[in-house]
Amino acid sequence: MIIKNPKFEISAVNEKQYPKIKIPEIVLVGKSNVGKSSFINTMLNRKNLARTSNTPGKTRQINFYNIDDMFYFVDLPGYGYSKMSKNEQIKVGNFIEEYLLKRENISLIIFLLDIRHDPSANDMLMYDFIINHNLPCIVIANKADKIAITKVDSQVKSLSDKLNPLHDLKFLPFSSERKIYIEEVWNVIESTLK
């Protein structure tokens, strides 16, 4: 896919601020620090379009990136950041849920896991939510650079066995650090946009 002019559009803190135009939305979900913002930058081959952070739990709003008026990348706040107060975590959870339930033009959820770790309790909740609401989804096992390349396939399979025993979701490895498996993910995105 040739991208000419990807732009940050808005940080929404409530539904009224979501973009008015309804083009497909490709949505990043996952725990805080798993690499959602880096994923957007890597896919677009930009260094700093989406703000990344070494400090987890920084993003508390929904960031919309307009990709050539073709679709949006939507960067949702990360969940499960332990240093956030319970109250704040509930607020973030409600906020994510509101977006996922109300937004009609969601084309694909890109659900990021860390390839090194079993899905957390929050990941399981997120997974159940996605399945129960019939939302289209692929799972990305991110930070593939952190394990031996020979272990990547078996680790992706193991995550899939744990999170999605029915094996009806597509799982792909990814690494923003090494910029690998980008083509495979673009193929999935392009096929959802057709």
Ligand X SMILES: Nc1nc2c(ncn2[C@@H]2O[C@H](COP(=O)(O)OP(=O)(O)O)[C@@H](O)[C@H]2O)c(=O)[nH]1
CB of 144 to ligand X, least distance (A): 7
| CA pair distance 135, 42, nearest whole angstrom | 24
3-class secondary structure, 73: strand
CB of 155 to ligand X, least distance (A): 14
Of 2 and 75, the one with the shorter C-beta distance to ligand X is: 75
Phi, psi of 148 (to 5 degrees): -60, 140
Torsion angle, CA of 94/171/9/190, rounded to 10 degrees?
-140
Q: Per-residue x/- marks for ligand X, 2-41, CB under 6 A? A: ----------------------------x-xxxxxxx---
With binding defined as CB under 5 A, does residue 176 bind Mg ion? no
Binding partner selected for residue 164 from ligand X, Mg ion, none, CB under the kind-specific 5 to 8 Å limit: none
Among 25, 26, 29, 37, binds Mg ion (CB under 5 A): 37
Of 22 and 58, the one with the shorter C-beta distance to ligand X is: 58
With binding defined as CB under 5 A, does residue 59 bind Mg ion? yes
Site for ligand X in 140-159 (CB under 6 A): 142-143, 145-146
| CA pair distance 39, 81, nearest whole angstrom | 19
E strands present in the chain? 6-12, 25-30, 62-67, 71-75, 106-114, 137-142, 170-173
Cα 134 to chain centroid distance, Å, stands at 17
Amino acid (1-letter code) at residue 192? T
Phi, psi of 142 (to 5 degrees): -85, 170
With binding defined as CB under 6 A, does residue 55 bind ligand X? no
Asked whether the beta carbons of 191 and 69 are under 8 A apart, the reply is: no
CB of 143 to ligand X, least distance (A): 4
Provide the binding-site residues for ligand X, judged by CB under 6 A: 30, 32-38, 52-54, 78, 142-143, 145-146, 175-177
Interacting residues with Mg ion (CB under 5 A): 36-37, 59
